[in-house]
Amino acid sequence: MKAQVIVRLKEGVLDPQGEAVSHALNGMGYDTVGAVRQGKLIELELSDTDAQTAQNKVKEMCEKLLANTVIESYTVEILT
């Protein structure tokens, strides 16, 4: 079983990487690009066979290590 976790900065938190990407794209002539928010994708290979158990474990992993929940939000998708 696999899990995908998407971690993003919460709304209102400054995103300097996103701003740099937006500025660079505008400088390359892509002037239709406005604000850019950057995040990260984490893929996990799990030995769990029950999707709900896997979901709970991955959420626990996010709370403890994978996301800084003070400034980041995350979503978890279990892929079977």
pLDDT, tens digit, 9 for 90 and up, residues 3-60: 999 999 999 999 999 999 999 999 999 999 999 999 999 999 999 999 999 999 999 9
Indicate whether 75 pLDDT > 90: yes
What does DSSP assign to residue 13? S
Is 2-79 in CATH node 3.30.1280.10? Answer: yes
pLDDT of residue 56: 98
From CA 20, how far away is CA 54, in angstroms rounded? 36
Task: Kindly report the pTM of this predicted structure.
Answer: 0.87
